[in-house]
Amino acid sequence: MWPLLTDVALRLGDETVTYGELLLVGAATGSLEAARTETRDGLRALESGLVDPSREELRAEAVAFRQASRLQSGEDLRAWLATRHLTTAEWEDHLRRLVAARSRSEVSAAPVAPEELEPALVVDLACSGWWRGVADEAERYWSAACLCAGPQSRPEPGPDQPEIDPELRLTATRLAGALPSLGTLDVEWCASRLGVLRSRQTALEEVAGRFSSDKAVAARVADHAADWVRFVFDDLRLPTRAAASEAVLCAREDGLGPDEIARRANRPLERQDLRRDRMPVAAAALLAGAVPGEPLGPLEIDGGVHVLWLRERVLPTPEDPAIRQDAAAELLAEALDRAAAGLARAVGPL
Say if strands 344-346 and 8-12 run parallel, antiparallel, or are unpaired: antiparallel
pLDDT at 104 over 70: no
Q: How far apart are CA 103 and CA 89, in angstroms?
A: 21
Q: 71: pLDDT confidence band, cut at 50, 70 and 90?
A: very high
CATH class name, domain 226-314:
alpha beta
Provide the percentage of residues in the chain whose pLDDT is more than 90: 85
pLDDT at 12 > cutoff 80: yes
pLDDT at 303 over 90: no
**Adjacency order of strands within the sheet including 230-238:** 269-275, 230-238, 304-314, 295-301
Distance separating alpha carbons of residues 138 and 108, to the nearest angstrom: 36
Looking at per-residue pLDDT, the higher value among 43 and 110 belongs to 43
Lowest mean pLDDT among 71-80, 102-111, 243-252: 102-111
Strand-pair category, 269-275 with 230-238? antiparallel
The whole-number pLDDT of residue 158 equals 47
Predicted local confidence at residue 154, as pLDDT:
52
pTM, whole model, 2 decimals?
Answer: 0.83
CB 181 within 8 A of CB 117: no
Q: Is the dihedral of CA 201, 204, 206, 209 positive or negative?
A: negative
Burial 105-131 (b: 16+ CB within 10 A, else e): eebeeeebeeeebbebbbbbbbbbebb
Residue 207 predicted with pLDDT over 60: yes
> Within 13 A of 284's CA, how many CA atoms are on the CB side?
13
- The band of 112, judged by pLDDT with boundaries at 50, 70 and 90, is confident
Q: How far does the chain reach from its first CA to its final CA, in angstroms? A: 15
Of the pLDDT bands very low, low, confident and very high (cuts 50, 70, 90), residue 153 is: very low
- How far is it, in rounded angstroms, from Cα 346 to Cα 12? 9
Question: Using CA atoms, how far apart are residues 348 and 141, in angstroms rounded to an integer?
Answer: 20
Q: Sorting pLDDT into bands at 50, 70 and 90, what band is 128?
A: very high
Report whether pLDDT(156) > 80. no
Give the chain's largest Cα–Cα span: 81
* Length, in residues, of the chain: 350
- Identify the helix (H) or strand (E) that includes residue 314: strand 304-314
Q: 10 Å Cβ neighbour count for 42?
A: 27
In the prediction, which pLDDT does 106 show? 63
Q: What confidence score (pLDDT) does residue 52 get?
A: 87
Mean pLDDT over all residues of the chain?
92
Question: Do the Cβ atoms of 316 and 224 come closer than 8 Å?
Answer: yes
Helices (H), the chain: 19-29, 31-48, 55-68, 74-83, 88-102, 114-128, 130-149, 166-176, 187-210, 214-223, 241-253, 258-265, 281-288, 321-340
8 Å CB contact between 137 and 29: yes
Q: Residue 13's Cα: distance from chain center in Å?
A: 26
The dihedral through the CA atoms of 189, 190, 192, 193 has a sign that is positive
On the question of pLDDT at 249 being above 90, the answer is: yes
**Mean pLDDT of the region 284-288:** 94
**Has residue 155 got a pLDDT over 70?**
no
Question: Which regions of the chain carry the CATH code 3.10.50.40?
Answer: 226-314
